[in-house]
Amino acid sequence: MRITQYYNNRIHSLKKQLIETYLVILAVFHIVSIYIYLFWLKNTFPLYYFAGALVFYIYSYILIRRNFNISRIVNAYLHFSSLYISVIILNFIDDSLVGFIWLIPMPVCAYVFLKRKMVIYYMFYTIILMLLIMLYAKYFDHHFYEYDKKYLRPTNAATVLANFSLICLFIYYKIKISHLEFKAFGYRIKSKMREKHIHKAKMLSKEPHYIIELSSKHKSDITIDHHKLENLFLELDKYMRYNNYFTNPSIKLSGLCSELKTNINYLSRAIDYKGYKNFNQYLNSLRINYVKNLIEKSDLTKVTLMYIYTGAGFTSQATFNRVFKQFEGITPSEYITQLLPTDSKLSSVDS
């Protein structure tokens, strides 16, 4: 697996794990609240609010498990939860302002999952929402259900403790995510510096490692060493196929020269000797074979074409379509269409 992709996957997994943990905690909290109001306080009116929030948490949990876009889910949750919490704050605002604490984790949550401009947005959004709640409480009726004031003190204590715990949870995961982001950034910097160093070293290098010719069109070369030529290409091919290194979209010939301890000129000659026009043709041949293998093994009703060609290292569908047609003579869609009748026949035979 490519190093950068590895870090991105780790970060995504941490964010997904944080959301799942957070939703489970809130769901348990609301289930307990429903039980208290229903069987202890004998007040059924707040149950509508708790039940509605519980349904939203469960639905959000299902979306996360199905790998929906995390940023969209977080944005939807922050807007929905703020409106839901506003109703609770309004009902208790005459006797306690502690309910405003429920709004504090909103910008903290945005800080973990969203970009900096969205963090600033939710900071102002939270402040404006607090002001609107106070204005509404001043001029409109805001008592939605009756409550016993003797329960305010334990309720306020639970509110402070719950939100403090949630903020600590966000900060803990943010530290872990920032650590991975820092390591990924350091790796990218080192890779760029390494590529520059390799390029500079190869430009200064004058002595060849292998004495080879380009192919039939370079027969004017003085000496031919087929054995060294073959070994160089075999070493390249082994390295490219190890862990599917050819699927790296940022792979460069200069980086391979450093790994194989040769230079661009002689590595290009080895590729040309094996019948490829250039490095890109050799690289694309590996990627197209990888794509064909993925198409044959994948369930095309569940896997998108984008998933297949990006997994092979192509960065755009236009490039992928063009290269695929150069090698196969048909477009990817036509190739897939040719496979489907065969699958149907097989399934009918098996049945």
**Separation CA 249–CA 286 (nearest Å):** 13
Spell out the per-residue pLDDT of the chain, length 351, in tens: 456 777 788 888 888 889 888 888 888 887 887 787 777 767 666 777 778 778 887 888 888 877 778 888 888 888 888 888 898 888 888 888 888 998 998 999 999 998 889 999 999 999 999 999 999 998 988 777 777 777 788 888 888 988 898 899 999 999 999 988 888 887 778 777 767 666 655 555 544 444 444 444 444 343 446 777 788 888 888 888 876 788 888 888 888 888 888 888 888 888 888 888 888 888 899 989 888 888 888 777 777 888 888 888 888 888 889 988 888 888 888 888 877 655 443 343 333
Per-residue model confidence (pLDDT) at position 343? 44
- Asked whether the beta carbons of 273 and 229 are under 8 A apart, the reply is yes
- Asked whether the beta carbons of 106 and 82 are under 8 A apart, the reply is yes
